[in-house]
Every structure is written in C-alpha cells, then in structure tokens.
Amino acid sequence: MSTALSCENCPSYLTPQQAATHFGKSVGAPVCARFGWVYGKIGLPQRATQKLQEHYASQCNEYGLPRPIKKDVNAFPIAIGLMPGPSGPVPQVIAKPPACSACKFYAPEDVVMQELSWTTSLCKKKGELILSTELRAAAEVCNEGEVGLIDRSTHGITLFPELMESFGGVDASPLVDLLLGDPKDFDSDKELSDADKAMGIIAWREVKNPDPDFHPTAGEEVYLPIFNESIFGEAARVKIPQSGDREHPEEYVDHFGGVYAVGVHLTKLKMAPGVWGEPGTGKTELFRHLAWMCGMPFERFTITGSSELDDLAGRPHFDPKVGTYFAYGRFVQAYQTICWLCVDEWNLGPKDVQQFFRPLIDNSKQLIMDVNVGETIKPSDYTYMGFAMNPAWDLRNVGTESLADADTNRLMHIEVPMPDEPVELAIIQKHLSHDGWQLNDIQQKMVMDVAGEIRGLIAAGPLASLTWGLRPQIKVARALRYFSPIEAYRQAVANNLDPVTRESLLTAVRGNVI
C-alpha cells in the first residue's frame, strides 16, 4: 500500500456528494475545497485517481489545513487545462456576454459530460470547469468573454499534464493484473485430493473477488479446476481453447469481475449464470476464457429463431440392423461430459427450445427428455453451463424476447459493462498487436473521441438503432491500417446503415479526424 501523501487524507478533500453541498453543484468527481483541483472523472481506474491525488498532495503548501468553511472565490472556476494561443494583452471585447452560456467559448454541460466525463460546463478560453450555478457570476468578473456562435465541443482544450497522463494515451497497466498465465503451467492454489487426481484435475485456481469494497469472510473462496488434457478424447481435445488460438482466449480482460461472479454462481450457489450486455462486449468470450482457464472443452450453442429442438435434444433413427433407436442431439451429448457450455441468445429461440432449457436451471439440474419418453439426463460433476444474452428491453435486439418469470427466477444475472477508457484502448491495441501494428497517439485519440460522440448520439436518439461496443471499435482500428479514417468507418460499419443514420455517424467521424 502506498505511503505517499494523498489528498484523500486531507480535510479539504471533497467527495462528489460533499462537493455538491460545499459548492452547490458536483462535477462528478472528488474536488479540493481549497484550490478547486479535480481528482479524477467518472470511470477512471482507482490507480489513476490515486496517482492524481498523490501528485497534487506532493505540491500543496496547505496540505492538512482545516477545510474552508465557505466557498473560496479562488476555488472556482476549476482549472483543468490551458487553451493554446498567443500570449499578450487580452483583446478588447465589445459584446460582453451576460452569462457564460452566451459566450462563444462555452462548452455545455452535456458536451463536457460526453467528451470529458465531468458533470459541468467548461470555459474553453481559460480551460476551466464552470458550475451551472456560477454562469452569471463567472461572466461578471471575466474580461475575456465574447458573444458568438457556440461550438458544441471541447476541441482545443489541452488538459494539464497530470490529467492528460491519467486520461490520455494507452496505459497497459490495467491489463497486468487481469491477464493470466497458461493453465498448463499453473501451480495449484490448494492441495489435490486423490479423488481430484482420479478425475484428471491437475490444479485448482483460486479466484478472488476484485471488488475493493468487499470484505472477505471465511468460506467465500472460489476455486476452479484445471484438467489434464490427456483425459479427453481426440474429438473433445480439439474443443479446448488454447493460448494463441484465433480468438486468443488467454487475452480476455475480465474488467468487471465476471470470472469470480460465474465461479460463485456455479460452484457456491449452484445456480446458472445469465450474462447480459450489448453486442460486442465479450459475453461469449467470457465463457471461452473460462474454458481456457480450466483446460476444458468449450461447447457453444447459438440459438436463433429457426433453431429446432431435435437438433439440440435428438430424434429417433432407424437402422435395419438394430431397429429404431434414439440418437442424442449435440447439446445432450455435451451436457453429459466435462465441459463449459455457453448457450448464446436463449431468448431468441422458439418456445419449445426455450422450454427445453428450463429444467437445466432449476435445483435438480436434470435434463428431462420428453422427446425420448421422459428420459432423465444428468450432467457430469464438472459440466459448467451459462447463458449469454442481449436484453429484450433494448429495441435494437430485434427478435429477442423477455424470459418467462420462471426462468429469470432460476438464473443469476451478470451485466457486462463497457471497460474504462484506458482498458478499452489497451484491449484494442492488444488485438492490433496480432496484426503487427499499433494505433499512434493521434489515431488513439480519434478512435476514442469518435466512440464517445457515437455513444452520446446513441443515448440521445440520432443513432439509437446502433450499439458501439468493443467489436466495432476493433474493426475500425484494424481497418485504419489500410484505409483513411472516413473509409475505415464506412467499411467497418457505416456502409451497412440507412443513408440518414450513415450520415449521422460519418459526421461524428469527420468532426474528430485530425
């Protein structure tokens, strides 16, 4: 644990909630009550926030003094950066705006939130955050304001180096603790029993809760088995994800604690996990990664509106030599073996297919084969099954249906969010490394700025028919090696869209091309 001075331990440190009380408005980040230093932003990794706090504490001559009782006039606006431009006397301004919101250097709160993640507005002339409660007061004491057309962006603002270091560029350090060594080389985290060895288990991997606010208690440890591949037949061995495969399961970044959550549900709570998230966020890859971690075959079943029950369960066959017999479908065959099962888009399937899976998620975990006179199929001791689904409430997921209440009650539900920006960039660069190249600083900024604008337009409505997860980000980044930015976005996504939506997306791209 770091022993350096940190603003978090100073009386002038304000949480976002305390800042709202002290200043009348929160910026969505911790703030210094004395100097107005802002210590981070929404979604910034803890290690980056801590680094900022240690930086400011190390240069503060008033560290540890009592918190100011009232708002200090010098504390606002909050300086976050500088606008590049010529030095010298301030030019005479003829039309002085009555409030910052009428000034051409004003960036509205929604734009700042989208592009910089602070919940307040911004003066682009001075590089300062301005609270919505201060717009008139700030304009009264300002001699640099100018009435004019407002550019709804933060373009041109140069953050202070300490902020730029935390917010900009690719920091691969978030991946260090998230990428794992090859399971074949793993030393067991607990002693192997004779029964373990007889099953073919060569090690146990302890999976810890990554939530810093969780306080461990006895018995909460989660262990996942690692199997010796030699126990599987040739047909099963080829299904075991390997380091260096095309999908690179060894590089999956578990930025949200999905491995721990799935492990808890399957090994401790004995409940099936349902993993939810937008397309392209890595739901299926989580289960592939788990199969890689355990050295177990990965069985993936993609359900569609035309999936047939017979293909999953099986059907009667006739052979002149043996007569009529029942041949199991691929799912039933897999369900009886040691493997990781991933059922993709369960809520896209026909009713009989959806109902087929219901007995697998109740307490018995037994598959009732009505198509074979009610035969009961039991899983192996190490059949791990989970579901990956797009939510039905999102109108973009055409064809998905809400699960029946009986099904949602039997599942545990895990959300897959988008990673923080440094992790997202590091993931993109890791994918590009397999192509033998990397985005430069300008391309990195463009890709993330475009993504921020597109995601804002998705939330606001103009691009509501789209999703913009990691998959399109990686597609665009790979294409940038061979095409201009506009053409890269066209071929990765835009050319598939209707003309109006396409133009909205490309406008966002053009506005961020340097």
In this predicted model, which residue has the larger pLDDT, 42 or 492?
492
Q: Is 308 helix (H, G, I), strand (E, B) or coil?
A: coil
* 477-486 confidence digits (pLDDT tens): 999 999 999 9
**Residue 193 pLDDT level (bands cut at 50, 70, 90):** very high
Mean pLDDT value across residues 251-272: 91
Cβ–Cβ under 8 Å, residues 288 and 331: no
For 491, list phi and psi in degrees, rounded to 5.
-75, -30
- Give me the percent of the chain exceeding a pLDDT of 90: 32
| The pLDDT of residue 98 is above 50 | yes
Cβ–Cβ under 8 Å, residues 287 and 342: yes
Cα torsion 165, 39, 103, 512 to 10°: value is 30
| The pLDDT of residue 366 is above 80 | no
Q: Which of 345, 429, 454, 333 is nearest to 391 (CA)?
A: 345
**Residue 167 pLDDT level (bands cut at 50, 70, 90):** low
C-alpha of 289 from chain center? 16
Least confident segment among 182-186, 198-202, 300-304, 445-449: 182-186
Mean pLDDT value across residues 296-325: 86
* Pairing of β 383-389 and β 272-276: parallel
For 345, list phi and psi in degrees, rounded to 5.
60, 50
**Residues comprising the chain, all counted:** 514
In this predicted model, which residue has the larger pLDDT, 490 or 15?
490
Mean pLDDT of the chain: 83
Residue type present at position 319 = D
> Residue 341 pairs with which residues in a beta bridge?
299, 385
CA distance 477 to 504: 20
Please report, for residues 91, 243, 301, the alpha-carbon distance to residue 327 in angstroms, rounded to integers and kept in the order given. 85, 34, 18
Q: Is 159 helix (H, G, I), strand (E, B) or coil?
A: strand
Please report, for residues 308, 440, 478, the alpha-carbon distance to residue 436 in angstroms, rounded to integers and kept in the order given. 42, 13, 10
CA distance 260 to 247: 21
CA distance 278 to 477: 19
Q: What is the pLDDT of residue 33?
A: 85
CA distance 172 to 150: 37
Cβ–Cβ under 8 Å, residues 58 and 13: no
Q: Is 202 helix (H, G, I), strand (E, B) or coil?
A: strand
Query: Given the structure tokens 């602070």, which residue do they identify?
Result: 118
Q: What is the pLDDT of residue 95?
A: 65
In this predicted model, which residue has the larger pLDDT, 231 or 418?
231
Other CB atoms within a 10 A radius of the CB of residue 372 amount to 18
C-alpha of 72 from chain center? 38
* Pairing of β 272-276 and β 411-415: parallel
In this predicted model, which residue has the larger pLDDT, 232 or 374?
232
